[in-house]
Structure 1
Amino acid sequence: MLDMSEFANAIFYSQPFSNFLGAELDQVGKDSAQISVAIREELRQQHGFAHGGVISYLADNSLTFAGGLALGGDALTAEFKINYVRPARGKRLIARASTLSAGSRQAVCQSLIYSVNDDGVESLCAAALGTIVAAPANPARE
């Protein structure tokens, strides 16, 4: 069996949407994950800020990875809530997620999403809270 870091990387880099966005799985822990993405022109909205959909992706995926690692395997998002704190400006977005509580089939996780400016200064742009569940043995049949 692969260790959890190798397992997480194998899943992450097999996600077509993550690859499309150019997202990177920067770090994983026993119940945490950090995902980042460069803010390219195509990922901005009409005012020049990072699009809320990109921020939401980071929240969703980081929550699921943190929860999945805490649950010990593949996982799915059951639900999440996001609060946008301020517009995301800069060159990079970073989502840091951690597990607040985990049982045998479900975990409650939080993700804080930061924008990083050219000087490397981070600003909180969103916060998310979500419920993550262990994936069924054959998710295609559910």
Structure 2
Amino acid sequence: MITLDLASARKVLAAQPFSVLVGARLMAFEPGRAVLALDIREDLKQQNGFMHGGVLAYAADNAITFAAGTKLGAEVLTSGVTISYMRPASGATLEAEASVTYAGRRQAVCRCDLVAVSEDGARSLVAVAQGSVLSVA
């Protein structure tokens, strides 16, 4: 099993064209946990001025996969994600914090909290997600 450290995981993220497009940053990558962040930019919003739900789903999916990778190794793929939106995401930054709730030899299940952070640092939980990730190694 190939394991990664934060610097190596950031290289994996940088090799994902869509992640580069949205400006995603890997803030934490440690056993059982990963945090992905991206700026809430105008070009990532929907018509009402809130971050598009598809961008939130992307952030959850990627954070979940990175968190699972800390347990399963670097060669993993998402097998399913569900997300529940609780309130519109607005502010300065979106953080997707994923943690492993179960890890077997070939599969992990993770939870992800999506938090909008305002300019003054106030945090608001905007969505929660759960996903399954499989080892492909």
TM-score (norm 2): 0.94
Answer yes or no: is the 8 Å Cα contact 2:113–2:128 preserved in 1: yes
Give the superposition deviation at 1:112: 0.3
Residue aligning to 2:53? 52
Runs of 4+ in 1 over 2 A off after TM superposition: 1-7
Residue aligning to 1:139? none
Residue aligning to 2:36? 35
Separation of aligned partners in 2, 1:22 and 1:3: 21
Separation of aligned partners in 2, 1:114 and 1:132: 22
Give the superposition deviation at 1:93: 0.3
Give the superposition deviation at 1:6: 3.0
Give the superposition deviation at 1:64: 0.4
CA RMSD of aligned residues (A): 1.3
Q: 2:129 aligned with 1:132, yes or no?
A: no
Answer yes or no: is the 8 Å Cα contact 1:32–1:70 preserved in 2: no
Residue aligning to 1:98? 99
Answer yes or no: is the 8 Å Cα contact 2:4–2:74 preserved in 1: no
- Residues 27 and 38 of structure 1: CA distance in aligned 2, closer, same or farther (over 3 Å): same
Amino acid at match of 2:110: C
Identity of counterpart residues, as a percentage? 43
Q: 2:21 aligned with 1:20, yes or no?
A: yes
How many residue pairs get aligned? The number is 136
Separation of aligned partners in 2, 1:38 and 1:3: 25
Separation of aligned partners in 1, 2:62 and 2:69: 10
Separation of aligned partners in 2, 1:121 and 1:90: 9
Answer yes or no: is the 8 Å Cα contact 1:63–1:97 preserved in 2: yes
TM-score (norm 1): 0.91
State the secondary structure of the residue aligned to 1:104: coil
**5+ unaligned residues in a row in structure 2: which ranges?**
none
**5+ unaligned residues in a row in structure 1: which ranges?**
137-142
Q: What does the per-residue CA deviation read over 1:8-40, in whole Å, with 9 as the maximum and x for residues that have no partner?
A: 122111111000001101111011100000011
Q: What does the per-residue CA deviation read over 1:45-71, in whole Å, with 9 as the maximum and x for residues that have no partner?
A: 000000001100000000000011111
Give the superposition deviation at 1:129: 0.5
